[in-house]
Amino acid sequence: MTDTDPIPYVDYLDLSGEPQLVTQACTQCGAQFFGRRNACAACSATTFVEKPVQRTGHISSFTIVSGKTPYVSAIVDCAGVSVRATVINVEADADHVHLAMPVQLTTYSAGHDADGREAIGYAFEPQTTAEETSI
Amino acid sequence: MSDPIWIIGSNMTKFGKHPELDIIDLAAEASLAALADSSMAMTDIDVLAVGNLMNASASVGQQLQKQIGQTGIPVFNVANACATGATALRVAIMAIQAGQAEVGMAVGVEKLSGMGLLSGPPEAPRGDTWEPRGRVGALGPTEGHIGTDIMPGVFAQIGMEYGHTYGEVSFDLFARISEKNHAHSTLNPLAAYQKRFTLDEIKNDVMIAYPNTRPMCSGNCDGAAAMIVMSDERKQSLPSEVARRAVKIAASVLTSDPYTPGCQVLPDINTLTRNAANQAYEAAGIGPEDLDLVELHDCFATAELVHYDNLMLCEPGEAVSFFESGAPWRDGALPVNVSGGLQSKGHPIGATGIANIHEIVCHLRGEAGDRQIEGARVGLAHVIGLGSACGVHILQQAS
């Protein structure tokens, strides 16, 4: 990474290839966590390996936070790994967001700093349907 | 089984707006009234535990002593999120169980009127270039960028998660849970809000975090509650008119959240509540079928639903059916939150965990006035503080 490469909004967003989320997986019990660890909350072991998170999943819970610009917060089940995320590219209302909805990882620009360096955030969006991808 | 511990004095202030009183005024009012209720004086108290969250570093217990009696006893100032009050009581009970005290006082107090959505301390200003911060190296605020951390949103997700697991939840269902508690509150003169809302009024009110509208959220308010607890041996020496009104603490349990997958992404408030309930039922030697009333932590309407299940008031997965049966209404099979719950009675955080036990005490003494659950002999009080901490107390009428 050079000083001009985009920088991830959080350190568990890996932008080195196709964007993906990465957990710290305990080498003893397999429990997965986001962010810097001291030890494992499940078994107290202290060694971890990075493990990528599946890019697709389904919404296992959500809320829509009101305000000037309402936003959808969801818990996304990505093959057994729970991810907290904002859901974008969808109307922020209960007619357009629902439990079990299939979603996929996406990224967005979180702005540029004074040096002109761009920050990239992650979010989830409704999964592109099979019909659309086949076109 | 070890000797029981008894509640011999109990009081809560009116919850609501008290602009003319500071937290020590409120704590003193509840403490002096609880002492009078037990025919005790500060000189009888061996240990004092005081719960307050917003001034956790201010030695509130010692400030209280300076207004109502500096007797030199040990003071424990405790903070444990929304379980702060229950934690204070738990400390006083543990001191008695450990043989370090015969009589203890637990006090919870908070002033929250007008504080709006509660959040942590403001973030320090950031420079004009990206600077990773915190456990996940965030370049800026996470709220809105990575879902939500606000309480109405977190607890909304907890309720919706129950729906994902078991099906059947809806905006209408959660609004009707809130309708019940607001209806109950009309009989509680100490509640901050005593307004009965129609279902439409609840659903059409300001949306805070779907599906929680404003009346489906606990109210920030001011208030205090206090309780005097006593060893079984010391209770033998009480005059009969005091002993007669004593209420037995059949179980006092405090748990934290054990690791479960995903619990650091969305707090798992279920497992620690279920653990606390299991431990409490076992300690008390009774089951949920023996309960006459329950005060549970309905910080949001979405939270009440999951705790029907967590406290085993219904079979696993049957919380919606339990509510639809009418059971938790005050004339139902197992009344829940006849005080009005946190949504109406209010939620002055430090006081909440003692106030809900006070509600049970009132019913078991037959002193709950218009809202008395007739013949109540056993009750359960539950609180949860996000982070997480869960307190469960089971109280029994003296036999």
> What was the ipTM of the complex prediction?
0.93
Q: Which fold has domain B151-217+250-397?
A: Peroxisomal Thiolase; Chain A, domain 1 (3.40.47)
Cα distance between residue B1 and residue A115, in whole Å: 69
Q: Does A2 reside within a domain?
A: no
Q: Say whether B132 and A11 touch across the interface (CB within 8 A).
A: yes
Confidence of residue A34 (pLDDT cuts 50, 70, 90): very high
User: Hey, what's the torsion of the CAs at B213, B178, B344, B396, to 10 degrees?
Assistant: -150
Q: Say whether B266 and A84 touch across the interface (CB within 8 A).
A: yes
Mutual angle of helices B60-68 and B23-38, in 10-degree steps: 60
User: How many Cβ atoms are within 10 Å of B165's Cβ, its own excluded?
Assistant: 16
More confident residue, B92 or A128: B92
Q: Does A111 reside within a domain?
A: yes
Q: Please report, for chain B, the start and end positions of each structural domain, with discontinuous segments joined by +.
A: 5-116+221-249, 151-217+250-397
Please write the tens of the pLDDT for every residue from B324-358. 999 999 999 999 999 999 999 999 999 999 999 99
pLDDT for the residue numbered A130: 53
Confidence of residue A1 (pLDDT cuts 50, 70, 90): low
In words, the CATH class of domain B5-116+221-249 is alpha beta
Rounded to a whole number of angstroms, the distance from the CA of B356 to the nearest CA of chain A is 28
User: How many Cβ atoms are within 10 Å of B312's Cβ, its own excluded?
Assistant: 18
On average, the pLDDT of chain A sits at 94
Write out chain B residues lying below 8 Å of A59, CB-based: 164
Token pair of B328 as six digits = 């938790």
Domains B5-116+221-249 and B151-217+250-397 share a fold: yes
Please write the tens of the pLDDT for every residue from A96-105. 999 999 999 9
Q: Say whether A115 and B148 touch across the interface (CB within 8 A).
A: no
* Residue A63 structural domain: 7-134
The count of C-alpha atoms lying within 13 angstroms of the C-alpha of A96, restricted to the half-sphere facing its C-beta, is: 13
Write out chain B residues lying below 8 Å of A32, CB-based: 261
The two beta strands, B222-231 and A81-87, are unpaired
B265 to chain A: nearest residue by CA? Answer: A84
B387 touches chain A (CB under 8 A): no
Confidence of residue B168 (pLDDT cuts 50, 70, 90): confident
pLDDT for the residue numbered B399: 67
What SS3 class is residue B287? coil
pLDDT for the residue numbered A120: 98
Domain count, chain A: 1
Q: Does A1 reside within a domain?
A: no
B140 to chain A: nearest residue by CA? Answer: A9
Q: Which amino acid is at A2?
A: T
- Give the residues across from A84 on adjacent strands: A75
- Give the residues across from A104 on adjacent strands: A56, A125
Element of type H or E holding A132: helix A130-134
Element of type H or E holding A131: helix A130-134
pLDDT for the residue numbered A131: 47
Confidence of residue B302 (pLDDT cuts 50, 70, 90): very high
Write out chain B residues lying below 8 Å of A35, CB-based: 134-137
Q: Does A38 reside within a domain?
A: yes
Where does chain B have alpha helices with state H?
23-38, 60-68, 84-97, 151-166, 171-185, 199-204, 232-235, 240-243, 269-284, 301-310, 319-324, 341-344, 349-364
pLDDT for the residue numbered A134: 40
Q: Say whether A110 and B139 touch across the interface (CB within 8 A).
A: yes
Cα distance between residue B108 and residue B88, in whole Å: 7
Q: Say whether B259 and A42 touch across the interface (CB within 8 A).
A: yes
Residue of B144, B145, B156 with shortest CB distance to A63: B156
The two beta strands, A118-126 and A7-8, are parallel
Q: Does A13 reside within a domain?
A: yes
